[in-house]
Amino acid sequence: EIYTLSLHDALPISRPHIIWKPIPFSAHRLAETAAYAMRHYGIDTWRLRHPHVIVEHYTESTTMQSAWSLFAQDVPDSELHELPGTCAHFIVDRDGAIYQLVPLDVICRHTVGLNYTAFGIENVGMSDADVLDDPAQMRASLHLTAWLIQRYHIPLGDVIGHAESLTSPYHHELDPAWRCQTHADFPTAAMDVYRHRLRALLARYRIPVGPAVRRVTPAC
């Protein structure tokens, strides 16, 4: 797929209403993030530069506050036992409220192999269906994602679910023990539905979907 519309044809999509609800991100946590980026990506920075990917997640919880509280803790995560603590850039609540937790130029730990170049969006819910079947939440999640696509010129094909992380051409992980780590949220079947709806929203604003993204085959 190629750009069938030019960027000059696009209509500006409004910034959605975003509630600034920052998690604690001290200088110490920024230093931990830079150390993490060096270990796993070979880059000594906590800054998210040149984002290329948007990763959709669901929280495996029923409230925004429980997800926020988890991300606010700067403690080793329960699965991989590393610092800094996990986080995401946004949480989209069931009522459609969008919360931003960190600045968009800060790396968050939400997807192994992609944190150096990816925004993380957590959608409150216990399953993919919870999110896909909630009209208010879907409208907000799609609006937020489309706004990020237009602002950062991210192709539709680089909007992925967490479960698709290993097939992203941007996946890069230096630690062999982590190289095949991923999660089950938003597999391709669910993301095909999400991207179909997102494509329709982009078409409404004449926003180019971008070139086709060639998925990679993980050696796992």
- pLDDT, one tens digit per residue, over 121-139 is 999 999 999 999 999 999 9
Q: pLDDT digits over 35-46, tens only?
A: 999 999 999 999
Task: Name the strand (E) or helix (H) holding 54.
Answer: strand 53-58
Kindly indicate the confidence band of residue 6, based on its pLDDT and cuts at 50, 70 and 90: low
Residue of 147, 178, 146 lying closest to 165 (CA atoms): 178
* 93, 99 Cβ separation under 8 angstroms: yes
By percentage, how much of the chain surpasses pLDDT 70? Answer: 96
Q: What are phi and psi of 77, to 5 degrees?
A: -70, 155
What local confidence, expressed as pLDDT, does residue 110 receive?
98
Residue written as tokens 């991989």? 80
Q: What is the DSSP letter of 125?
A: B
Q: Is the pTM of this model over 0.75?
A: yes
* 67, 53 Cβ separation under 8 angstroms: no
Strand ordering across the sheet containing 98-100 = 18-20, 98-100, 90-92, 118-123, 53-58, 159-161
